[in-house]
Every structure is written in structure tokens, then in C-alpha cells.
């Protein structure tokens, strides 16, 4: 069975039976939602129940491991035991993390939309995470140094895994689970709020870009994952996760996927495909409605721009449409590039690029960035930063701490000289307005099935297609027309 066949009808809308007329009949009432009757349960009750289920599953599946000689991914039998052991650990961790008293959960989305304001971005407690072990090439060590440079620039903490945990493809998720668990143990006012993951072959080209501009504003607290897609679907080489019990349950479900769906071939990037299929699930999670309502995809070029040397896309329609807009040359670069971002772009990523080509491109970028950084700060290891997080104010230009570009060809531009502020502000405004429209269309008193269905289709688009604004705008316009003609 292929992974694409696991969940049929994945484009069905979110819904809750409480939102629909009594005579409305649906084939499935278990899809993700924002206004769920299950949300009245406390966080403790839901997380405890879920973690107990995961522990039970892992324990019951241990005998299966004794009969399984090898994973589909080629990992030896001990990886099976390792993954099961990690699931038990994560379940126990969830029991500890969420067992402290917590107020009843309210409908975060309704409250957020009702009180929506143009709040400045104030996420200061961000953790930058990656891993690098078993690699002696200085190229990747320099790449990790660019992650640290950006973190120091803006006062973020960093966590780099430097030892082999023996978990193969699953090391990334296990490491992130551990980080989230550690942060959740801390007082709320001192823990990290978000974690950015970036693979070791991702180079921070412009450390002057603060990570907070990519995160949902405080009035959208239901969003817990900010990622991006490529021609294969989800790419988990660079993404953001909120430090929250939602993240614990999502990663736990992704790690358990090969145990619970042994007939599904996850391909080569097993943990990435497991995450993608977890996002498409229509059950699971603390409210048994899945995780889809907590995710959003941004345009990949913003914080995960590729060098387009992947063999599988050469000659494709995407390649033909994109190649003429890529950065091929730039003052200070020695090699021919195919960078799909633009001047001032924050990051370059090299998934699927041949090793020798990749290393040459990475070194070329880092030579440029390190030279420019020395021009701005006097040393490649200096940032003129303090250890305290920067307090951002969207009404001023203090975000860049008065960094100025030394010449017209500078790549490492201050953030206010890039398109990022306008683009991300517009992105979240579009999301907020579309969500408000959907909530209005499904409010109490609305009994038109076509309007409700259109509103819930819009929510699907907000989860799946915010990186394709035309698709979201089409859903918005359709819903507005229906509301105008049918809700008179």
C-alpha cells in the first residue's frame, strides 16, 4: 500500500456536528475542527488519556518486534525496540508535563478572532535546533555556525545534537520531543515559546532576519506548526513548532506511524512522510480530531529556499517556470547558483543536491556571508548583541538595531530593507480575515448547508494552501457570494 492511499478523501471539510442542522447527514463526523464539543475537556484529561493509549500501544506491540527482522527503511531490529522504548518514554513524559493543574480549555480560535488586533510580534523566547554528528566536513560545521550566529544576533537559545542516538531517521523527532518536554517542565514565563528546526545542510544567509516574523501573531494561538512544501509535499528540513502539549501528541503519533501502519511504505524520508500522513489524519490528538487545524504552510522561499539542482525536477514545469527568476550570480559568489530566493533571503537549503555540488555551493554562500558579516560587525563571530532577547516593535525600525547595508550589493540586508515584513504581515492578515469569515458563516443561527460546507472548505484551505494565496482567495470569494445570496 502506498502512503497516498492511507487516508482517502483528505479534502473533506473540518466540521463538528454541533455546527450543522439536525437534518444534515455526513459520512464522517471525526474530522479536525476549531469549534469542537470535545474542547470542553481539560488539557490534563485529554493529554493523560492520549499518553496512556500510546504507552499501551507500545507495550502491546513489543512482541511484534521479536518477529520483525528489519524495518522497511533498512534499520536493524534494535531500531524497532528503540522506537517502542521512545514511545513509552514520551508517553510517560506527557503524563509528567501535563499533570500540573491547568484551567479548562476555551475555544481559542473564537476568542482570538473576536479580539483580533494588530499586535506587534513579541515572540522572544525562540530556540534554534539542529543536529550534526558523524560528519567531519568543515562545511557543515560552518553551516551550523550560521544558525548560531543568527540566534546570537537576536538573543535566541540554541540546541545542537552532537551524538548519535542510534535511532536512524527518527533521531530528529526524538530530539525535538525531548526539547519540547524539557521546555514544558519550565515555568511558562521562562520556557521557549517556539522551536525552529533547520537541517545541517541549511545555511543562514541573512542573520539580520528575526525568526519571529514567520510566527503566528498572539491572536492566533491555535496554530502550532508553521512549515512549507515542495514538489513532494511536506518538507521537514526547516519548520517551526510551538512548545505545547499539541506538539508532544503530534510527534508521538508520527513516531508510532510505522508501528500502527506496518503495511504503508514510507519511502526514503520516513520521518518526513510520517509527519505528512499524521497531519492528514482525521482522528488522534487530545480531542481525537487530528492535527490539521493546528498547521499552516508558508511560501517555501521565505525561510526554506532551495538551490534547484535536484535531478528529479530538471526539465519539469516547476523548474521551467522558476529557473529564470533564480539567483544565478551575485557579487562575491564564485560559482553558478540556482537559488530560488531573492536578495536578503534568510536561508538556503540543499535537499537532494549531489554531495560534491552541495558542498561547493554551501561554501560559496558562506564565504560571501562571512565576509559581509565581518564588514557589518568587524568580526565573523561578533553580533553587537546582548544575551537578552530583543523586544520587537512593529511600529519602529529598531528590529534591525540600526544595522545598515555597506554598499548597494550587500546580501545581508537589514530586515526592513527586505520584503519580509510586508509579506508576512499580509500573510497573517489574509489568514485572520479568512478565518473570521469562516467563523461568521458557521455561527449559531446559520442553517444553510451550502454556506456551512463552503466555510469549512475554507478552513481546509487555511490549513493546506496558505502558501498558494490564489486558492485561499478563491474559497473566500465563493463563501462571500454564498453568504450574500443565501443569508439574506
Residue 487's pLDDT band, with cuts at 50, 70 and 90, is confident
Residue 221's pLDDT band, with cuts at 50, 70 and 90, is very high
Helix axes 171-184, 270-280, angle to 10 degrees: 60
Contact in structure between 281 and 287 (CB atoms under 8 Å): no
Q: Residue 382 pLDDT more than 50?
A: yes
Domain ranges of the chain: 34-299, 303-391+407-413
Average pLDDT over residues 258-274: 89
Contact in structure between 282 and 290 (CB atoms under 8 Å): yes
Residue 136's pLDDT band, with cuts at 50, 70 and 90, is confident
Interval 29-51: pLDDT, tens:
222 333 333 333 334 444 444 45
Residue-level pLDDT at 486: 83
Helix axes 449-464, 469-486, angle to 10 degrees: 170
- The residue among 262 and 425 whose pLDDT is bigger is 425
Q: Residue 231 pLDDT more than 80?
A: yes
- The residue among 388 and 473 whose pLDDT is bigger is 473
Residue 267's pLDDT band, with cuts at 50, 70 and 90, is confident
Cβ neighbours around 65 below 10 Å, total: 16
- Which residue is associated with the grid cell 560534491? 356
Distance CA 292, CA 282 (A): 8
Residue 275's pLDDT band, with cuts at 50, 70 and 90, is very high
Check residue 225 and report its DSSP letter: E
Average pLDDT over residues 181-186: 96
Tell me the residue length of the chain. Answer: 488
Average pLDDT over residues 11-15: 39
- The residue among 150 and 167 whose pLDDT is bigger is 150
150: exposed, middle or buried (Cβ count in 10 Å: 0-12, 13-18, 19+): buried
Q: Residue 98 pLDDT more than 90?
A: no
- The residue among 12 and 292 whose pLDDT is bigger is 292
Instruction: Give every CB contact of residue 446 below 8 A, 6+ residues apart in sequence.
Output: 452, 487
Q: Among 130-139, 184-193, 344-353, 433-442, whose mean pLDDT is lowest?
A: 130-139
Q: What CATH number labels 34-299?
A: 3.90.550
Residue 410's pLDDT band, with cuts at 50, 70 and 90, is confident
Average pLDDT over residues 369-375: 88
- The residue among 420 and 75 whose pLDDT is bigger is 420
Amino acid at each position: 500500500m502506498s502512503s497516498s492511499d492511507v487516508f482517502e478523501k483528505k479534502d473533506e471539510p473540518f466540521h463538528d456536528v454541533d455546527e450543522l442542522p439536525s437534518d444534515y447527514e455526513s459520512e464522517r463526523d471525526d474530522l479536525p475542527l476549531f469549534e469542537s464539543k470535545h474542547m470542553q475537556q481539560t488539557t490534563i484529561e485529554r493529554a493523560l488519556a492520549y499518553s496512556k493509549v500510546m504507552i499501551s500501544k507500545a507495550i502491546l506491540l513489543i512482541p511484534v518486534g521479536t518477529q520483525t527482522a528489519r524495518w522497511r527503511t533498512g534499520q536493524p531490529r534494535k531500531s524497532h525496540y528503540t522506537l517502542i522504548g521512545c514511545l513509552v518514554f514520551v508517553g510517560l513524559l506527557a503524563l509528567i508535563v501535563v499533570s500540573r493543574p491547568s484551567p479548562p480549555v476555551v475555544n481559542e480560535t473564537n476568542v482570538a478572532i473576536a479580539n483580533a488586533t494588530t499586535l506587534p510580534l513579541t515572540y522572544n523566547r525562540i530556540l534554534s535546533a539542529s543536529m550534526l554528528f558523524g560528519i567531519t566536513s568543515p562545511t557543515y560545521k560552518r553551516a551550523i555556525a550560521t544558525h548560531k550566529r543568527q540566534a546570537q544576533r537576536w538573543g535566541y537559545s540554541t540546541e545542537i545534537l552532537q551524538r548519535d542516538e542510534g535511532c536512524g531517521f527518527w533521531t530528529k523527532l526524538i530530539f525535538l520531543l525531548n526539547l519540547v518536554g524539557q521546555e514544558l517542565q519550565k515555568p511558562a514565563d521562562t520556557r521557549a515559546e517556539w522551536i525552529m528546526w533547520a537541517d545541517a545542510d541549511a545555511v543562514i544567509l541573512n542573520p539580520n532576519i528575526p525568526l519571529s516574523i514567520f510566527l503566528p501573531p498572539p491572536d492566533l494561538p491555535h496554530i502550532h506548526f508553521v512549515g512549507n512544501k515542495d514538489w513532494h509535499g511536506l518538507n521537514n528540513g526547516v519548520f517551526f513548532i510551538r512548545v505545547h502539549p499539541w506538539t508532544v501528541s503530534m510527534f508521538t503519533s508520527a513516531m508510532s506511524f510505522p508501528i500502527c501502519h506496518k503495511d504503508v511504505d514510507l519511502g526514503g524520508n520516513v520521518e518526513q512522510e510520517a509527519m505528512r500522513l499524521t497531519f492528514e489524519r482525521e482522528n488522534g490528538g487530545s480531542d481525537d480530531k487530528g492535527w490539521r487545524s493546528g498547521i499552516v504552510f508558508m511560501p517555501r522561499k521565505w525561510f526554506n529556499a532551495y538551490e534547484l539542482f535536484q535531478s528529479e525536477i530538471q526539465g519539469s514545469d516547476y523548474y521551467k517556470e522558476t529557473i529564470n527568476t533564480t539567483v544565478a550570480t551575485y557579487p562575491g559568489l564564485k560559482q553558478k547558483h540556482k537559488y530560488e530566493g531573492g536578495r536578503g533571503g534568510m536561508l538556503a537549503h540543499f535537499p537532494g543536491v549531489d554531495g560534491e555540488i552541495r558542498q561547493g555551493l554551501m561554501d560559496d554562500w558562506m564565504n560571501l556571508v562571512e565576509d559581509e558579516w565581518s564588514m557589518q560587525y568587524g568580526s565573523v563571530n561578533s553580533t553587537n548583541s546582548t544575551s537578552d532577547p530583543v523586544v520587537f516593535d512593529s511600529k519602529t525600525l529598531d528590529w534591525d538595531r540600526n544595522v545598515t547595508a555597506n554598499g548597494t550589493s550587500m546580501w545581508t540586508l537589514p530586515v526592513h530593507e527586505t520584503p519580509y515584513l510586508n509579506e508576512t504581515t499580509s500573510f497573517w492578515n489574509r489568514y485572520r480575515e479568512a478565518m473570521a469569515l469562516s467563523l461568521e458563516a458557521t455561527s449559531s443561527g446559520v442553517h444553510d448547508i451550502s454556506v456551512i460546507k463552503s466555510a469549512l472548505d475554507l478552513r481546509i484551505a487555511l490549513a493546506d494552501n496558505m502558501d498558494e494565496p490564489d486558492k485561499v482567495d478563491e474559497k473566500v470569494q465563493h463563501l462571500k457570494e454564498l453568504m450574500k445570496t443565501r443569508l439574506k
